[in-house]
Amino acid sequence: MSAVQEAPRKRTAYIALGSNMGDRIGWIEKACNEMDARGIRVKRTSSLWETEPMYVLDQDRFVNGACEVETTLEPLELLDALQDIEKSLGRKKLIDKGPRNIDLDILLYDNIQFDHERLKIPHVGIAEREFVLRPLAELIPDKPIDPSRPWRLTVDYLDALPPSKTPLTTMTPLSSHHPPIQALNPSRKTHVMAILNMTPDSFSDGGQHKPIIPAQGAADDAGTTAADTAAARLKETIAGFLDAGATMIDIGGQSTAPGTAEVPLEEELARVVPAVRLVREEFGSRPVLVSVDTYRAAVAEAAVAAGADIVNDVSGGSMDPAMLPTVARLGATVCLMHMRGTPATMNGLAEYPAEQGGLIGGIARELLARVRAAEEAGVRRWRIVLDPGLGFAKVGPQNVDVLRRLDELRSWPGLQGLPWLVGSSRKSFIGRVTGVPTPKERIWGTAATVAAAVQGGADVVRVHDVREMAQVVAMADAIWRY
């Protein structure tokens, strides 16, 4: 009888990712996908950072990152696999440390030292390279790099570097045809996201936009006429958004106002997908990003197939267990909003005890958990946007406090470098402060919250009144983005 063969031992390694040619982020994502396909499982990724070239200075800026992988390959086998991935992606090494579309280097492998003419672990250049240390410090800030010096951690090496002449910034891709968000770039422009609710029951604009497919059971002529009319009105609305300064359109087919009944999946799809297609077909020549506002994985998948760039999930991926794996598979950017419970129960879940970190600590802790869940599902960190969830499991003055302390959330350990979306438009807390009961009349109060969001570091503001809020953003950017 033959002995039972032991399963190969799983090892943890850290791989540096780099590119400075063509679609830099696209090449890195292809490399990560190729690692996964070859059994080198990408467990976590850092953010992606744009950096000046080092050593050979006459070349374009790099995008750099790092990933944690699980592998059964021994060090030299792993090196061979990574070099084969580089080759399969068309890398040609013209000069040492020169331009390349993809660069994969083994930084660390378990907790070992390895010395070979082809490979040295830890990588010899770690200590002097901020573009390596900064992403590595996101993954393993408290891990020693050199096993012979266990008292010196990754953050110690990073802190020992002289200040960079050009500070690094993270990069969050939105689509292959638009510049990424650079959340740490002090001169970045704030995106204006226009709200397009294809619903009859949204709290301030329900029923404004009708579905653009004929109603089931309607006579052909009547149904087609109604659909044509709805499509014409929708095109007019979208053109108005874009002319007013919107750079994103967020399309939703399910109201998340407190107490609103959930619509059937088929109905949400019928509301959302034709609207996404209309934007792409009618406004393809204009630089507009399309977001789908849904907590259902099936709607997210259909919307992305129709041309959506971003999935905006008010539940942070918690209401549909298929959402985060679906977003990971699609490779779309996802906005994870902070919410507790469901839209029907959230207002009863707005207590944030001081002993558990209070309001800001509670939001940060729970968003960290959603980020971890997304990463475990395969979502790359550089594909994550966060939303503090104004009006969701937050009542009255709590929303004002979130706006006041947004910068504290942005700098929370584990959340730094991620971009933020803030949606305050017309919400009830504005009405309570200003004494304006009608949501559509809360423009001035909304304007103050939008300015506060920009000051606090928001990268995207989600609004109903696009023309007015685009002007507020332009002025706020001129004041606080320099």
Q: Which residues pair with 290 in a beta bridge?
A: 249
Rg, Å, the chain Cα set: 24
What lies within 8 Å, CB to CB, of 117 at 6+ separation is: none
- C-alpha span between 436 and 442 (Å, rounded): 6
What lies within 8 Å, CB to CB, of 351 at 6+ separation is: none
- C-alpha span between 426 and 437 (Å, rounded): 10
Longest dimension (CA), the chain: 83
Nearest to 448 by CA among 473, 416, 411: 473
Instruction: Supply φ then ψ for residue 88, to 5 degrees.
Output: -65, -25
Q: Which helix (H) or strand (E) holds 469?
A: helix 466-480
Tokens describing residue 68: 């944690």
Q: Which helix (H) or strand (E) holds 238?
A: helix 220-244
| Beta strands 289-293 and 310-313, pairing class | parallel
Q: How many residues does the chain have?
A: 482
In b/e form, how buried is each residue of 17-42, taking b as 16+ CB within 10 angstroms?
bbbbbeebbbbbbbbbebbeeeebeb
User: Can you count the helices (H) and strands (E) in the chain?
Assistant: 14, 16
- Catalytically annotated residues: 427, 462
Q: Identify the three-state secondary structure at position 204.
A: coil
Strands (E), 126-266: 169-171, 191-197, 248-252
Q: Identify the three-state secondary structure at position 335.
A: strand
Q: Which residues pair with 13 in a beta bridge?
A: 69, 109
